[in-house]
Amino acid sequence: MRDLLYMNDSFDGAILADVGLIPHERDYNLHVSDYTGHGGWSDKTQNRVQETQAFFGRLGMALFGGIVLIAPMLIMRLHPTLLTELVTTSAFVLAFGIILAWFMTDADRKDILGATAAYAAVLVVFVGTSS
């Protein structure tokens, strides 16, 4: 009966199979003695690691967003020619689209297209206000 204490309101197939309550349909590679249960030490450690990773992911996205807006604006203001503005806008929009396509693995094509179009619209405003 001690093994049933490791289950907490969910019917995890690996645990149930390991304690012999259901037949082993596949090899789960889990032993009840290794399972800490809900709220155990490794569960809290894993949550802390996930929260830290999520924070750094958000921080990276904030830095990326700031850089892709400020860098072309600085380039266009420091070298105020129409050619510089058009080349800078084209290069940054292309790079922005490629970076989104590379890193946003769970996004649809329409999401990447929409974000790239919105970014291009922002940069076109910079070009339009300087001309």
Name the pTM for this structure: 0.62
Q: Which domain holds residue 100?
A: 53-130
- If one counts the domains in the chain, the total is 2
Would residue 17 count as lying in a domain? yes
Per the listing, tokens 């689209």 go with 97
Whole-number Å distance between alpha carbons of 26 and 9: 22
* Residues 54-110 pLDDT 10s: 999 999 999 999 999 999 999 999 998 999 999 999 999 999 999 999 998 899 999
Same domain, yes or no: 68 and 14:
no
